[in-house]
Structure 1
Amino acid sequence: MESDASETAPIKRAYIFLYGIIFITSQNILLSFISKIRLIYREICYDASGVRQMYSRIRDSRIDKGLSQKQVAELLGVSYKTYSAYEKGKRHIGALQLIVLANFYHTSVDYLLGRTDKKAPYPKGK
């Protein structure tokens, strides 16, 4: 019986070694995938100056209307601090709030998100 245990020990160590390699390899693949996704996200969301395009359009629309951050925050039903964080890109703005802003500024959500350069809102469906 002692010989059986001593004969299987190297096999167990080999399995543990292989599992370790597989685990490390899969982690490296996952990390590589995540970093590629981050690069794509940055390309989509940020303009050349490093500011999130979506949030700069929200700020620019507010300024074009001559409104303060406090006024727009009241329109959205959020605090001034929250709205300020939206414009700086430190906080994500919700879909409902984007719709409210798009309607208020007479533009489309896609324009605010930076997906189009056309300011005109989409025609209403019948």
Structure 2
Amino acid sequence: MKICLVTEFFSTRAGGVRGGVEARAFQVAKFLAPKHEVTVLTSRERGQPKREEVEGFEVRRVGREREYAQKWDLGGRLGFLEGGRRVWERFEVVDGYSFVAYPLAWELHRKLGIPAVATYHDVWLGEWV
């Protein structure tokens, strides 16, 4: 099965994971990769390649380069969403990993006619909300 995991940020560097959403996306992708074709669709931080293979799955970074941000950064978030809308690969299921990723996962669901999943995590914006 061709699976797309959509998360705003995703690090493949040792010690680069900064939160639970990234950690969970990494572990799910790693777990599914031996039996499925997994692509993590994420934004591109400065210095990161647009594509790379990690632990048997593909990481595809879209939008303009940006810095990591937990809140605000409207321009960076809109760039991520717009870049992701240009993806036309034929996935069979898409899973959105945060409130920023949900609209893109929904767009891929509608555009490709595939099932969509929304994984909801705790949200930290200086305090738990």
- TM-score greater than 0.5 by the shorter chain: no
Rg larger for? 1
Structure with higher RCO (Cα < 8 A, 6+ apart): 2
Question: What TM-score results when the alignment is normalised by the length of structure 2?
Answer: 0.23
Q: Which structure features the higher share of helix residues? A: 1
Q: Which structure features the higher share of strand residues? A: 2
